[in-house]
Amino acid sequence: MNMTNTITDDLRSLGDRVQKLTFSDRADPAFDFQKVCVRPYLAKGETRWQLEQFRGAQVFHRNLDFPALLQWVESTGCVQFRQLLLTAAGAEIQYTMRAGKIKRKARETGRPAKAPQAHDRQKQYLLREGENIPALVDLGVFTKDFRIVRSKYDKYKQINRFVELIDDAFRESDKTELTILDFGCGKSYLTFILYYYFTVLRGVKATVLGFDLKEDVVAHCNEVAGRYGYDGLRFFVNDVTTDRLFEGKVDMVVTLHACDTATDYALLHAIRHRVPQVFSVPCCQHEINAQIRPGGDFDLLLRHGLLQERFSALLTDAVRAEVLRLCGYEVDVIEFVDFEHSPKNLMLRCRLKTPKTPDLSAVEALLQKYGVRQTLVEEVGKLS
Ligand SMILES: C[S@@+](CC[C@H](N)C(=O)[O-])C[C@H]1O[C@@H](n2cnc3c(N)ncnc32)[C@H](O)[C@@H]1O
């Protein structure tokens, strides 16, 4: 089993019982801190997590919410340290991390729960195995007794993480109504879950619209939505690259692996309609790969098909992120799940700050060097 999953799964399942994490035995002596202790604390009724990072006689503090803590554990805690002691009410788990492998030793203790143990609101919102979400059974992600179907585990991880990131963005929001568009929704696991998350778990009146080319899939999704009385969840057969889609006010655009330029048209829709939030996980970036030729500073990367493909994908997403930035979005490019759950694991997480008319000249000049045209750049160029 994956090393970090073992720990983050324990953290999730222990939830409020976790009292302290102690990371020690630094793997790389050059790493900034010799030891890190993490403890939960309450802020405005919410459980947050404080990192105490020890360097010599100094202590540096950092406060994180639960998803950020999990990310830190995965990217730093489990990488930079070889020992972790997890102390929880009633239990203690010792992890030893070596050469990508983990040893886990749990023992029961009589340690009582500590007050105040505020309920972790974030955790309530997440889709836990065993949770009664019948639509996920119909869609084939959960078994009838709400266990994850083995072959759907990676997809489950993806949608769970997607919703966690959205939860981060909307936790402080007092919106009572939201409209969300999902471009290239396919079997619509994410679309259903977003609807469930906002309407059932957050009590928001959500309208969630999914667009896809496939008639049979769209019909099935509408049928399942109808079966559960999900009135605000609707699916449409559309080619998002050519069709005119929903023109009303939109609060969020999402894409999860929408093929090739379908992602560009989703981003274009967001830019045109000044959509405040965009969560986009691109996929199969063929457009640049099909046209690219030497002429820029990185011609070396075009000598091998594999490198060219990866370079083209990175160039595509870098250009998309830049266009969004120039249009006034704050853009984070993040790995939204581990590579093992999807090699297409890069997400553009975007929040509109101040809409701007973009100056695309630098991006256009870069693309010109490689002899390529890029849909988002061209289409946004036509707007101004
Ligand atoms: C890889 S699937 C992802 C589906 C879904 N978002 C998920 O993550 O499970 C990509 C989907 O994009 C849809 N798609 C591709 N090009 C499209 C287009 N031009 N317009 C609408 N949908 C498109 C495909 O039909 C397919 O269902």
| 142 Cβ inside 6 Å of ligand 1 | no
| 185 Cβ inside 6 Å of ligand 1 | yes
Kindly report the pTM of this predicted structure.
Answer: 0.70
Identify the architecture of domain 124-383 in CATH: 3-Layer(aba) Sandwich (3.40)
Highest mean pLDDT range out of 78-82, 120-124, 127-131?
78-82
What Rg do the C-alpha atoms of the chain give, in angstroms?
23
pLDDT of 358 over the 60 cut: yes
List the domain boundaries for the chain. 3-119, 124-383
- Please tell me the distance from the alpha carbon of residue 238 to that of residue 250, in angstroms, as a whole number: 18
pLDDT tens figures, 63-76: 889 999 999 999 99
pLDDT tens figures, 256-313: 999 999 999 999 999 999 999 999 999 988 999 999 999 988 999 999 999 999 999 9
Ligand 1 closest atom vs CA 243: 20
Q: What is the arrangement of strands in the sheet containing 205-212, beginning at the earlier edge strand?
A: 233-237, 205-212, 177-183, 252-259, 277-283, 346-352, 329-335
Closest-CA residue, ligand 1 atom 23, reads 184
| Segment 73-91 mean pLDDT | 92
User: What spatial distance separates the first Cα and last Cα of the chain, rounded to whole Å?
Assistant: 51
| 214 Cβ inside 6 Å of ligand 1 | yes
75 C-alpha to center of ligand 1: Å? 30
pLDDT of 139 over the 80 cut: yes
287 C-alpha to center of ligand 1: Å? 16
| 193 Cβ inside 6 Å of ligand 1 | no
pLDDT tens figures, 182-227: 999 999 999 999 998 888 777 889 999 999 999 999 999 999 999 8
Q: Which of 161, 193, 212, 281 to mutate to test the pocket of ligand 1 (most atoms within 8 A of CB)?
A: 212
